[in-house]
Amino acid sequence: MTFLKFKGLYLTLAIVFLILFLSLQPPGEGGPKLLVSEKLLHFIAYGVMVLPVSLERVYPQFLVFLIALAYGGFIELIQPFWGREADIMDLWANIAGIIFGILIARGIVFIFNTQASNIR
């Protein structure tokens, strides 16, 4: 039963590892071209990353923000060791995505709490 209690945390951790894997891939010479902005991908990835754990409301959202921010900063710092470039604009896109993901989670929780109280 404990596993189910923290399913949002486990989903977030799976996304964390996926982001790490994708972020440390060597840059491709002839790889597929992105159809969207790389910054938009950062925004979406980090927003999706914090959404499941933020929906659980077990952890303070400011703590979720700080941990996600530190994680994004850590990845930017280690990317040069894998032949990639660190980019401060990537970090800003990460921050915007983190904030957006937390705000979306708060909105979803608010809507469901309001609907639940109207049913009673």
Q: Which residues of 46-85 are buried (b: 16+ CB within 10 A; e: fewer)?
A: bbbbbbbbbbbeeeebeebbebbbebbbebbeebeeeebe
Mark residue 83 as left, alpha or beta (left: phi above 0; alpha: psi -120 to 50; beta: remaining): left
Q: In this structure, is residue 19 part of a structural domain? A: no
Q: What is the pLDDT of residue 55?
A: 93
Q: What is the pLDDT of residue 11?
A: 94
Q: What range defines the domain where residue 53 resides?
A: 38-120
Share of the chain above pLDDT 70, in %: 85
Q: In this structure, is residue 16 part of a structural domain? A: no
Instruction: Assign 32 a pLDDT band (cuts: 50, 70, 90).
Output: low
Q: In this structure, is residue 47 part of a structural domain? A: yes
- pLDDT tens string 81-101: 988 999 999 999 999 999 999
pLDDT of 34 higher than 90: no
Tell me the CA distances in angstroms from 105 to 33, 78, 98, 100, one per residue in order: 32, 29, 11, 9
Give the N- to C-terminal CA distance of the chain in Å, as an integer.
28
Q: In this structure, is residue 68 part of a structural domain? A: yes
Q: In this structure, is residue 75 part of a structural domain? A: yes
Structure-model confidence comparison of residues 47 and 114, the more confident one: 47
Instruction: Assign 27 a pLDDT band (cuts: 50, 70, 90).
Output: confident
Q: In this structure, is residue 65 part of a structural domain? A: yes
Q: In this structure, is residue 5 part of a structural domain? A: no
- pLDDT tens string 4-21: 567 888 999 999 999 999
Domain count, the chain: 1
Q: In this structure, is residue 53 part of a structural domain? A: yes
